[in-house]
């Protein structure tokens, strides 16, 4: 008795061959000349008349024969797909992670779906934004996101100052230079916020996805090892479609 993974392995080839042969049959039936034949014989009016050779063209393609060959091709295809689909209804396996059954008796079709979804999810997680490693982050519950420790900086303002180079006299005014001095006038307290995630959290998520991917793959392989009851439905279908066809 074949196993499901063996049926799956040959299904693609049978489908490809069936499509090729059906295409060839279709093209052949579109050539009227191959379907036509003729037989012509000549008889003169009297014995003295000219004798001409007979003419004959044989029919090269017979539609009924093409239908029989098409039926044979499709019977194999219908049977292998039926065997696979019937087996899929029974093919199940547990998804086991770290020795614990996460999902019991999952159908193989769902395992295939789950495997594809996990590939997409892994790609999504790898592109999650990461917190800037140059900053020290703590989770701020009130803001519901990550925040840095407050950093205080000063705000300065240039204040003009006078520098007396020489005092005023009766004859000369005072000589004064104006310069500007940076004077602290206030303080900034800066806290940065981010909705990104720590690299450790992203790595944890990726590790879980990869672990589940492996478990799902193992489960699919186990489910695909289910023994297949080979179905014979093709002759019934094609017999109904094309008339009374005897099994080959």
List the domain boundaries for the chain: 4-131+197-242, 150-190
The answer to whether 84 and 8 have CB atoms below 8 angstroms apart is yes
pLDDT digits (tens, 9 = 90+) for 145-165: 999 999 999 999 999 887 877
pLDDT classification of 240: cutoffs 50, 70, 90: confident
The answer to whether 219 and 76 have CB atoms below 8 angstroms apart is no
The model's pTM is 0.67
CA nearest neighbour of 238 among 77, 110, 127:
77
pLDDT classification of 44: cutoffs 50, 70, 90: confident
State the alpha helices, DSSP H only, in the chain. Answer: 4-29, 32-35, 63-88, 108-126, 199-223, 234-242
Question: What distance in Å separates the CA atoms of residue 191 and residue 148, rounded to the nearest whole number?
Answer: 6
- Mean pLDDT across the stretch 213-220? 96
CA nearest neighbour of 108 among 218, 232, 233, 9:
218
- In order of 130, 146, 205, the CA distances from 195 in angstroms are 9, 6, 17
pLDDT at 244: 55
pLDDT digits (tens, 9 = 90+) for 120-133: 999 999 999 999 99
pLDDT at 241: 86
3-state SS class at 29: helix
Residue 68 — φ and ψ, nearest 5°?
-65, -45
pLDDT at 248: 47
Distance, C-alpha 224 to centroid of its chain: 20
Residue 148 — φ and ψ, nearest 5°?
-90, 165
Distance, C-alpha 228 to centroid of its chain: 27
Residues 6+ positions from 177 with CB-CB distance below 8 Å: 162, 163, 165
pLDDT at 199: 95
Number of CB atoms found within 10 A of residue 229's CB:
12
The vertex-160 CA angle with 153 and 168, nearest 5°, equals 155
pLDDT classification of 29: cutoffs 50, 70, 90: confident
pLDDT at 18 over 50: yes
Tell me 3's DSSP state: B
pLDDT at 77: 92
């Amino acid at each position: 008795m074949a196993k499901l993974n063996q049926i799956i392995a040959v299904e693609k080839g049978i489908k490809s061959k069936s499509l090729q042969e059906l295409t060839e049959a279709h093209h052949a039936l579109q050539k009227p000349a191959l379907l036509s034949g003729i037989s012509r014989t000549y008889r003169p009016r009297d014995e003295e008349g000219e004798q001409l050779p007979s003419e004959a063209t044989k029919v090269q393609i017979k539609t009924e024969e093409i239908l029989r060959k098409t039926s044979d091709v499709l019977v194999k295809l219908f049977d292998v797909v039926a065997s696979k689909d019937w087996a899929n209804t029974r093919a199940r396996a547990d998804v086991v992670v770290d020795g614990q059954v996460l999902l019991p008796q999952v159908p193989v079709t769902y395992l295939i779906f789950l495997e594809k979804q996990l590939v997409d999810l892994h790609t999504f997680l790898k592109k999650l934004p990461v917190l800037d490693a140059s900053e020290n982050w703590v989770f701020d519950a009130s803001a519901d996101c990550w925040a840095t420790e407050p950093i205080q900086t000063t705000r300065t303002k240039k204040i003009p100052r006078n520098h007396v180079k020489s005092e005023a006299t009766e004859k000369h005014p005072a000589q004064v230079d104006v310069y500007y001095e940076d004077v602290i006038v206030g303080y900034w307290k800066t806290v940065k916020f981010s909705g990104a995630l720590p690299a450790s959290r992203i790595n944890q998520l990726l590790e879980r996805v990869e672990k589940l991917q492996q478990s799902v793959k193992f489960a699919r392989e186990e489910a695909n090892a289910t023994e297949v009851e080979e179905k014979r439905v093709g002759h019934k279908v094609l017999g109904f479609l094309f008339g009374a066809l005897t099994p080959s």
